Chain A
Amino acid sequence: MRKDVRRVAILGGNRIPFARSDSAYAQASNHELLTAALDGLIDRFHLQGERLGEVVAGAVLKHPRDRDLTREAVLSTQLAPETPAYDVQQACGTGLEAVVLVANKIALGQIDAGIAGGADTTSDAPLALNENLRKILLELNRTPSSAGRMQLLTRLRPTQIMPEIPRNAEPRTGLSMGEHCAIMAAEWGVSREEQDELAVRSHHQMAAAYERGFFEDLLTPYLGLERDQNLRPDSTPEKLAKLRPVFGGEQGTMTAGNSTPLSDGAAAVLLASEDWARERDLPILAYLTEAQTAAVDHVHKREGLLMAPAYAMPRMLDRVGLSLGDFDLYEIHEAFAAQVLCTLRAWEDPVFCRERLQRQQPLGAIDRERLNVNGGSLAAGHPFAATGGRIVAALAKALHERGSGRALVSICAAAGQGVVALLESNGNQP
């Protein structure tokens, strides 16, 4: 077994534009979306016929037919069919967790190169049989006698035609993620104005990034879409101020404008050892140097559902001996503008840092000018498992453009989980 740990290079990424639910990608499956993202990446890095160490991806909303989704997608691409693959699932953390898993195997020398990614569709959602009907059908299958079967059939009811619809609700609280975030927004006193301002900035930054061609080597058009469908370059605080609250009741501060919409899309990131990149003459955009997951008890201890990154971050920073302010770029996944603002507030708050994080001093504030510089999920949309890949690839490129520096990624996930990671520019001397 190797004793040394290798540096993990991020070479690039590819995603398809994100579409709003029931729109451009309404007919596309997870399999098709992921395959499209992988195809673009393979084209860009000339990976046709290449046997990669591993491809790791996942989807949050999965059909039973999506068994081994990633392996099946690999078989649909021009990668060597001998490329192994597996699925992961960690809600909105899926994409970043996949990156971490691939990176760890590269670091340990178990593989030399791999792709991490994710796909999700909320349009082609997995409807299931009505639960009562399903039980009757299963029992029918177990019943040998015709009389018994006939008797079972009498239990069929017209209402059983209604399928089971997947709900965006936490199993243990029954509340949707938006409702959970509304509780957090109220707890942290996040105002409507702050949220709208963050949302507008996200749209403007992303529109500007598109304008200067930033996404040209990060994106492949798909099914007629060339840009993220949710992007509103002309968004203004005045326009957003007109929207009605959708979460948190009449007094709520969260609207469709400062919450991410349901969306469809896929993303993939190419990671490798330095040697593997050098052999192929591929420039290294950045290194993935650290990662950390955390979870909170949103059920019994009533911590905010999406507050886990606030816990993960200091654990990772302590391990590397850096402070929150030591970074040049920050990518905080904008599940909801309120989630970002709650997280920032928590890191600045003496009470949270002392009572929940057991730290004498707050982590401190970050320079907002360095946050989500090329737009975030509020502008791009958020196909759950695709977001990690989108962020890592774009952030690695942004670091590469800067020529030096460090960056942080923070992604909150359902079920009270969070994933954070640390990227370093290739320009940094080790």
Chain B
Amino acid sequence: MSDRYAQLVRSPPGALLARQVGLPRPVALERHRPGDPVIRGRVLLGGARGGRLLGAIAAVLAEARCELATPLEERARSIVAEAGLDAAVFNPDAPGEQRFKALIFDATGIADSTELVALHAFFHGAVRRVEQCGRVIVLGTPFSDCASARQKTAQRALEGFTRSLGKEIGRGATVQLVLVAAGAQDGIASTLRFLLSPRSAYVSGQVVRLGRGKPPKEIDWEHPLRGRTALVTGASRGIGESIASTLAREGAHVVGLDVPALGDDLRRVAARLDGESIELDITVPEAPAAIAERFSGGLDVVVHNAGVTRDRTLAKMPTERWTELMEINLSSQERIDDALLQADALNGNGRIVCVSSMSGIAGNAGQTNYATSKAGVIGRVQALAPELAKRALTINAVAPGFIETQMTAKMPITIREAGRRMNSLSQGGLPIDVAETVAWLAHPASGAINGNVVRVCGQNLLGA
């Protein structure tokens, strides 16, 4: 699993060589450790004239005890003062030695393409001041909430900006666009915190859509899932194990599920997390009912992580390779959710998080079966989201890109190296990166996120 190339170019001679030859130089990504603050370092906050989110953003930053700076603009300064933030001043004409860990820009005020120059005005002088593993977040308005064609044009244009900046910013920094529906400003906290923090280390170039969802009044940011029960399928190893551990870290009572053949591993994980285990093949006909029965007392989070690959080009793929995979990766998920919903086993403010894949978005040679199942997962998320919203539930998916696991370690070196480097961060992600993203979507304060598919791919070139 070790990335020898990354180690090499982080050594002094390796770095020199890489610089001379122009090879990618991946930095060691910062990752969250329990007890860490949301973000270490100063956040620069600005906004286009007429924006509607500065106050809400400032409130989140104040609660998260962020160190803040703003440009010398009366409106922004008044708003952050109102939020109780002792914000420093940033003047690009006299920048001094200022460095920023994050840049946040409220672009909701941009109502016409001519006003997009506000992006240049804010980022031009600031972008080179972003520290290693820094964060850039632009907030905009979703298409459906724009009043005019001009506004829609300008707001849609933001995506080109963030996706490009993500590709050029480098040094482990990430860039996201968050589209906040009208009146949804109270639900941005969990998303802003996630995207600012090292928890989102391998998430970049994403567009997150926030709708109107009421966050709970009291949020324990250290242990948001305390008192909540989470079911994680495929929890015995790899990404599933990491998801189970992360949800447990966030305070959840985790119930891991896996096939009986992996029972030893599963029990070990459950024991370590002080959780429970279910040894069950989710594809057997009685599985959905059994699971619904098991959680008749109430379940808060379901993570559909269980999945397999059965790679073969289509011409050489026997039917079993197709049906077996489809059963595990997609059909069983559908049946389990149906059963849980029918039994009303999901508690209010409950969460369903599915694990899709970059292959499901971009497609991949030799993976027609796998990509079909993972694209189907996306379809499920989009189809169920409006329905679940009526029951105060959400469904979202994460779509991992190249994640360093036992599976990728077995790849031929050329394919592995290509997979690792073909993204904006020039390296593979770790299972924890997927797990942190799942934890964000499973967060009780993430009710505003519904029907989203968030890639954990370091802004991979494929399908972007």
A355 near B93: Cβ-Cβ < 8 Å: no
Chain A residues, Cβ within 8 Å of B74: 350
Q: List 5 A-B contacts (CB under 8 A).
A: A189-B72, A189-B91, A249-B97, A251-B97, A345-B89
A248 interface contact, C-beta 8 A: yes
Chain A residues, Cβ within 8 Å of B84: 354-355
B91 near A190: Cβ-Cβ < 8 Å: yes
A187 near B89: Cβ-Cβ < 8 Å: yes
B78 near A350: Cβ-Cβ < 8 Å: yes
A355 near B81: Cβ-Cβ < 8 Å: yes
A189 near B77: Cβ-Cβ < 8 Å: no
The complex places the Cα of A263 from the Cα of B80 at a distance, in Å, of: 42
B222 interface contact, C-beta 8 A: no
Q: Which of B70-117 contact A (CB under 8 A)?
A: 70, 72, 74, 77-78, 80-82, 84-91, 93-98
Chain B residues, Cβ within 8 Å of A189: 72, 89-91, 93-96
Chain B residues, Cβ within 8 Å of A186: 94-98
The complex places the Cα of A36 from the Cα of B11 at a distance, in Å, of: 67
A353 interface contact, C-beta 8 A: yes
A115 interface contact, C-beta 8 A: no
B89 near A349: Cβ-Cβ < 8 Å: yes
The complex places the Cα of A189 from the Cα of B90 at a distance, in Å, of: 6
The complex places the Cα of A252 from the Cα of B96 at a distance, in Å, of: 7
Q: Compute the total of residue contacts between A and B using a CB distance below 8 Å.
A: 62
The complex places the Cα of A356 from the Cα of B95 at a distance, in Å, of: 23
Closest to A354 in B: B81
Residues of A contacting B: mostly: helix
A188 interface contact, C-beta 8 A: yes
A253 interface contact, C-beta 8 A: yes
Q: Mark A351-362, 1 if CB is under 8 A from B, else 0.
A: 101111000000
The one of A182, A251, A349, A356 in contact with B77, judged by C-beta atoms closer than 8 angstroms, is A349
Chain B residues, Cβ within 8 Å of A349: 77, 89
Known A349-B77, A350-B78, A354-B81; judge A251-B86 contact (CB<8 A).
no
B81 near A188: Cβ-Cβ < 8 Å: no
Residues of B contacting A: mostly: loop
* Number of residues from A at the complex interface, CB < 8 A: 24
A192 interface contact, C-beta 8 A: yes
B86 near A187: Cβ-Cβ < 8 Å: no
Chain A residues, Cβ within 8 Å of B70: 351
The complex places the Cα of A353 from the Cα of B80 at a distance, in Å, of: 12
Q: B219: shortest Cβ distance to chain A, in Å?
A: 25
B77 near A253: Cβ-Cβ < 8 Å: no
Q: A132: shortest Cβ distance to chain B, in Å?
A: 37
Q: A429: shortest Cβ distance to chain B, in Å?
A: 37
A198 interface contact, C-beta 8 A: no
The complex places the Cα of A177 from the Cα of B332 at a distance, in Å, of: 71
Chain A residues, Cβ within 8 Å of B94: 185-186, 189-192, 194, 253
A191 near B86: Cβ-Cβ < 8 Å: no
Besides A190-B94, A350-B78, A351-B81, 20 other A-B contacts (C-beta < 8 A): A185-B94, A186-B98, A189-B72, A189-B89, A189-B90, A189-B91, A192-B94, A249-B97, A251-B95, A253-B94, A253-B96, A345-B72, A349-B89, A350-B82, A351-B85, A353-B81, A354-B81, A354-B82, A355-B85, A355-B86
Chain B residues, Cβ within 8 Å of A188: 89, 91
Q: Mark A241-276, 1 if CB is under 8 A from B, else 0.
A: 000000011011100000000000000000000000
Could you list which residues of chain B lie within 8 angstroms of chain A, going by C-beta atoms?
70, 72, 74, 77-78, 80-82, 84-91, 93-98
Q: B91: shortest Cβ distance to chain A, in Å?
A: 3
The complex places the Cα of A260 from the Cα of B157 at a distance, in Å, of: 50
Chain A residues, Cβ within 8 Å of B77: 349-351
The complex places the Cα of A190 from the Cα of B98 at a distance, in Å, of: 13
The one of B80, B82, B88 in contact with A187, judged by C-beta atoms closer than 8 angstroms, is B88
Q: Mark A176-203, 1 if CB is under 8 A from B, else 0.
A: 0000001001111111111000000000
Q: A330: shortest Cβ distance to chain B, in Å?
A: 21
Which of B74, B84, B90, B94 has the largest count of A CB atoms less than 10 A from its CB?
A: B94
Chain A residues, Cβ within 8 Å of B90: 189
Q: A346: shortest Cβ distance to chain B, in Å?
A: 10
Closest to A341 in B: B94
Q: A251: shortest Cβ distance to chain B, in Å?
A: 6
The one of A251, A353, A355, A356 in contact with B96, judged by C-beta atoms closer than 8 angstroms, is A251
Chain A residues, Cβ within 8 Å of B91: 188-191
Closest to A351 in B: B81
Q: B71: shortest Cβ distance to chain A, in Å?
A: 8
List of 5 A-B pairs having minimum Cβ-Cβ separation, nearest first: A189-B91, A186-B96, A191-B94, A355-B86, A354-B81
Closest to B84 in A: A355
Closest to A188 in B: B89
Chain B residues, Cβ within 8 Å of A252: 96
Closest to B79 in A: A350
B87 near A351: Cβ-Cβ < 8 Å: yes
The complex places the Cα of A176 from the Cα of B82 at a distance, in Å, of: 35
Chain A residues, Cβ within 8 Å of B88: 187
Chain A residues, Cβ within 8 Å of B97: 186, 249, 251
Known A186-B98, A189-B72; judge A351-B86 contact (CB<8 A).
yes
The complex places the Cα of A349 from the Cα of B86 at a distance, in Å, of: 11
Q: A54: shortest Cβ distance to chain B, in Å?
A: 43
Chain A residues, Cβ within 8 Å of B86: 351, 355-356
B81 near A350: Cβ-Cβ < 8 Å: yes
Q: A7: shortest Cβ distance to chain B, in Å?
A: 39
Known A355-B86, A356-B86; judge A185-B81 contact (CB<8 A).
no
The complex places the Cα of A346 from the Cα of B265 at a distance, in Å, of: 61
Chain B residues, Cβ within 8 Å of A187: 88-89, 96
Closest to A252 in B: B96
The complex places the Cα of A192 from the Cα of B95 at a distance, in Å, of: 11
The complex places the Cα of A238 from the Cα of B91 at a distance, in Å, of: 22
The complex places the Cα of A355 from the Cα of B74 at a distance, in Å, of: 15
The complex places the Cα of A188 from the Cα of B91 at a distance, in Å, of: 8
The complex places the Cα of A188 from the Cα of B84 at a distance, in Å, of: 18
Q: A159: shortest Cβ distance to chain B, in Å?
A: 36
Which of A248, A353, A355 has the largest count of B CB atoms less than 10 A from its CB?
A: A355
